[in-house]
Amino acid sequence: MTTMSMIKGLNEGLRRVLEDQPKSLVMGEDVGRLGGVFRVTDGLQKDFGSDRIIDTPLAESGIIGTAIGLAMRGYRPICEIQFDGFVYPAFDQLVSQLAKIPNRSGGRIRLPVVVRIPYGGGIGAIEHHSESPEAYFAHTAGLKVVTCSNPADAYWMIQQAAAGDDPVIFFEPKRRYHGKGEVDTEKPGLDLHRARTVREGRTATLIAYGPTVDVAENAAKAAAEEGLDLEVVDLRSLSPIDWEPLFASVRKTGRAVVVHEAPGNVGIGAEVAARLTEECFYSLEAPVLRVTGYDVPYPASRLEDDYLPNLDRVLDAVDRSLEH
């Protein structure tokens, strides 16, 4: 066991991928000499060379298009989109080509491409630097979508994503980058697409992912001081979603609150709420509630604390659920 930040966990995970897979490479804006704007790739170009850690032009569509071509020739690219809001120029390549070519070719062409995207708010950034675009990609058949919430998952999940033969969109919660935790570098964690029960409870279930797992944990700790026993589940995988742990938890507690930073309209929380209602209707004691970002463009940094889900909003939703 060793203590490391999420940035360090990702860096060490990428290092192991590059050591174990000679055809793997990292590409993106400033990932080489600079080591990435968040220093996730720091030191990798020095150790693996500029032919495997590639500084690309400022052209997201070109990054993904080039990665698709490389994958078709047997390479295993790991792309970095520098910020969440920069992914949209690459959207056509991602949803029309990366997601479709394996199916279009009847499985003859595999595209083992990982696309890393730092996402979410909470860092006081300017426009286009605090988006949560995960629902776009979770809605797209042919893409797998995952997100880590702690250093241990960051370390293992990036390796698991890079080991598969399917395209993976890998979301990294940037406001959790510097959070530290224990990482067992010898014992693999859960499978890539498994949900994780972070905290056991019986009063209600809090379902979160990425940056809001910490929010849900803190809400559960605060609720415990008032005698409430909240269960916390980290989705980890957004497509596919590991449904059985969610169903089991809600059948036990009878109540659920879904928490995410992205706007609520047609978000991941809407799908989770719908499926829980379909599968656990006779176990529910109250409607499934959502605590999300608001359905507006992400605000200026001085207002983001009012925009983002926080402990008080989560506990308010729990109180409303318990009123039923």
Concatenating the DSSP letter of every residue in 146-172 gives EE--SHHHHHHHHHHHHHSSS-EEEEE
Do both 16 and 158 map to the same domain? yes
Question: Are 50 and 161 within one domain?
Answer: yes
> Would you say residue 309 lies in a domain?
yes
Question: What DSSP designation does 303 have?
Answer: G
240-243 contacts at long range (C-beta below 8 A, 24 or more positions apart): 240/144, 240/193, 241/195, 241/271, 241/272, 241/275, 242/193, 242/194, 242/195, 243/275, 243/279
Structural domain includes residue 188: no
Q: Are strands 196-199 and 230-234 parallel, antiparallel or unpaired?
A: antiparallel
Residue 191 maps to a domain: no
Total domains present in the chain: 2
Same domain, 200 and 169: no
pTM of whole model > 0.75?
A: yes
> 212-224 and 311-322 are packed helices; what angle lies between their axes, rounded to 10 degrees?
60
Same domain, 36 and 149: yes
* Domain end position, chosen among 128, 154, 183: 183
* Same domain, residue pair 207 and 138: no
One domain for residues 45 and 147:
yes
Question: Digits of tens for pLDDT over the chain (324 positions)?
Answer: 899 999 999 999 999 999 999 999 999 999 999 999 999 999 999 999 999 999 999 999 999 999 999 999 999 999 999 999 999 999 999 999 999 999 999 999 999 999 999 999 999 999 999 999 999 999 999 999 999 999 999 999 999 999 999 999 999 999 999 999 999 999 988 999 999 999 999 999 999 999 999 999 999 999 999 999 999 999 999 999 999 999 999 999 999 999 999 999 999 999 999 999 999 999 999 999 999 999 999 999 999 999 999 999 999 999 999 999
Question: Is there a single domain that holds both residue 153 and residue 202?
Answer: no
Distance CA 237, CA 223 (A): 26
What pLDDT does 262 receive? 98
12 with 157, same domain: the answer is yes
Q: Verify that 15 and 156 share a domain, yes or no.
A: yes
User: In this structure, are residues 152 and 182 in contact, taking their beta carbons and an 8 Å threshold?
Assistant: yes
Task: Indicate the residue among 138, 162, 183 that finishes a domain.
Answer: 183
Place of tokens 């949209």: 88
Q: Which two structure tokens, joined as six digits, stand for 43?
A: 């030191």
pLDDT of residue 189: 84
H-helix or E-strand containing 247?
helix 243-253
CATH number for the domain spanning 247: value is: 3.40.50.920
Task: Write down which residue in 122, 149, 183 finishes a domain.
Answer: 183
Classify the phi-psi angles of 203: left when phi > 0, otherwise alpha if psi is within -120 to 50, otherwise beta: alpha
Query: Domain residues for 307?
Result: 196-323
Residue 190 forms part of a structural domain? no
Q: Which residues are catalytic?
A: 129
Distance CA 61, CA 81 (A): 10
What backbone phi and psi angles, to 5 degrees, belong to 256?
-145, 140
Q: Assess if residue 179 is contained within a domain.
A: yes
